[in-house]
Structure 1
């Protein structure tokens, strides 16, 4: 064998040895199973979960009226302090009454003239009827007297109606509180010209209790109707009002459920009432209403950290035979602190992974025995 052939022989032999070593290494890697993943597990069970459903809410006055001028004129007086409490019937504004007072005197004078005419017509009719008894007057004259009396009565009635209308205008020149409540900031001041039916003077509203409106899904109508009908104890915390992270200290109750469902949204307006003795609540505020669930409802409650999300879907790792885990798709419900309610996907008695989820994959083998520290493993 020459030198060239000998070199080729050794090169081929070396290549075969490399391939053989690579195959042995790959086979060793494929044959060695990965070590079990250390995790913590828990057994799923039913629990009486008390949680809160949340609804966006808007605060409103239970009774609110915009005060509008009913006669034309100039404001001559403002008799309250902006934002103060007012009582029903309390005088709030006055409008110049000079013109309306003069019109009233004129209407009263016209009424008196018509009443005088009525008295004359009545006496004429009585006299003509007396003469008619003795055939001393023509029947036609008697008929004329009766017609004049009837016309005089109608004229008196018309003049009295005119007096009442003018007197009403005089009354409208004073604006009084329609009910007891809180008045806002005045939109006019003394000397401002106002127009009947157009100029808004102010707004009066009640503020204790305060109405809180929420939109409830139609499937919950029966529940809220029941809550409306049952008597509410003073310490009942079924309904709570929340502003950000602050919880209003006083509970509310259902006042009414609207007459019909909105066909576009599938919801129905429900009005709650909350006490407001300290004036903390203001109409127009936005808040959240928390409605406590029934404590008798059995639910599956698991830690949030046991749930993984993939493309908008939620999964948990369930421990099966041979300590292998499998992903189970779950439907989540209300979150309660660090836990979440599972509506479907798990059954009582299932064992799920709680800690170490990030190290798992489908079919992985797990262990709940904590591995020994590296120093002890070398020994």
Structure 2
């Protein structure tokens, strides 16, 4: 019995010693050197695609639509007939104007004949000069009436011609076109919308500070030919293959948000970009020289403090407070708190505390899948509806 008790005591002491040794052992972590290099920065903003030119087609005359010569979504050419308005009342108006003009022209012709006769009688002193003057005034009045009736005829003929509604420009028609039988009011009823699809605008907003920054970049690089590059990322995460250029900027900042509305022009030969689509606008042109880069997964936040764990000179973990700049791919630019000589811990952070002995495995960005390239993860277009908000990455 005594021998068994001594053996059990020895076994428990051994287990306790093993646990104590494991608890006091070095923490297994992976770490890598901080990167330092010239880093291009991409600024991203929520944008929306719009047609470069868009026209709401309206009829110049009122009446019921009796014919339609296209289908919704068709591409049409400028001058192509789109609708025909009931023309019967306008045909009657032309006939009436023609009859009125003919009557006024006949009255004018009679007055001119009488004037000629009166002028002959005046030459032989058969009538007074006052009578000739009166007849001349009548001729002038009848001539003016005939001219007015001629204008009314031209107006009636133009109204009749306007019963056929033509495409004012080449482009694609919308699918919300009115149906046959709709009563169109002149200058009020929108029959259909026509818009161009190549090129297209991408509209987005930038802050006052960003406007001044990009203006300075543009001025500094104007002589080198390296201006600001504009690209867009679509909602499925893909980058549109053609770059654009900024062509328009509003004359003033909006009062509510203090942002400046900007338009970039993009070619759209394949019709991939549709008006109304959301996109992430990417402006490239700014480069941060000798930027300190730290992987995103190494960054931790506690309340209002941002820090990383670094491998200290004594091989122990050390918390280092940092100030972050823009996000670039898998990294953050660090404004302060780190140097190019620091080694940051990128894996094994979940239960790591400061002052812990470390068993460090050095890794490379390639080992961890880190990259300076942008994220191509699809984004939720519902969060992009506010085109007035911008962010930098």
Place the TM-score, normalised by the shorter chain, in its bin: 0.7 to 0.9
- Aligned CA RMSD, in angstroms, stands at 3.4
Shift of 1:118: 2.8
How far apart in 2 are the matches of 1:273 and 1:351?
44
Q: How many pairs does the alignment contain? A: 333
The 8 Å contact of residues 87 and 181 in structure 1, kept in 2 or not, is answered as yes
Match of 2:102 among 101, 112, 126: 112
Q: Which residue of 1 aligns with 2:133?
A: 143
User: Aligned in 2, Cα 1:230/1:120: closer, same or farther, shift over 3 Å?
Assistant: farther
**Cα distance change, pair 266–186 in 1 and its aligned pair in 2 (3 A):** closer
Larger deviation, residues 125-134 vs 108-117:
125-134
Q: Is the 8 A contact 1:322 1:365 kept in 2?
A: no
CA distance in 2 between counterparts of 1:135 and 1:312 reads 114
Distance between the aligned counterparts of 1:87 and 1:369, measured in 2? 70
Cα deviation, 1:115-140, whole Å, max 9, x if unaligned, reads 23333334444554555556543232
Q: Is the Cα–Cα contact under 8 Å of residues 308 and 314 in structure 1 kept in the other structure?
A: yes
Q: TM-score, normalised by structure 2?
A: 0.73
2:330 equivalent in structure 1: 338
The match for 1:73 is 63
- What is the aligned counterpart of 1:240 among 227, 232, 235? 232
Q: Which of 64, 73, 84 is 1:83 aligned to?
A: 73
Give 1:43 deviation, angstroms: 5.2
Q: Secondary structure at the match of 1:269?
A: strand
Q: Whole-Å Cα distance in 2 between the matches of residues 95 and 309 of structure 1?
A: 68
Asked if structure 2 preserves the Cα contact closer than 8 Å seen for 1:214 and 1:269, the reply is yes
Deviation string 1:104-161 (CA, Å, 9 cap, x unpaired) is 1211221222223333334444554555556543232233223222222321222122
> Quick one: distance in 2 between partners of 1:42 and 1:368?
13
> Where in structure 1 are there 5+ consecutive unaligned residues?
1-33, 371-379
Question: Gaps (5+ residues) in structure 2?
Answer: 1-23, 362-393
Determine the structure 1 residue equivalent to 2:12. Answer: none
Q: 2:179 aligns with which of 186, 189, 192?
A: 189
1:25 aligns with none
Alpha-carbon separation, structure 1, partners of 2:324 and 2:352: 21
Once residues 318 and 286 of structure 1 are traced to their aligned partners in structure 2, the CA distance between those partners, rounded to angstroms, is 41
Of the three residues 153, 163, 168, the one matched with 1:163 is 153
TM-score by length of structure 1 reads: 0.75
1:255 corresponds to which residue?
Answer: 247
In the aligned structure 2, how far is the partner of 1:94 from the partner of 1:254? 41
User: For residues 367 and 98 of structure 1, what CA distance do their matches in structure 2 show?
Assistant: 94
Q: Which residue of 2 aligns with 1:316?
A: 308
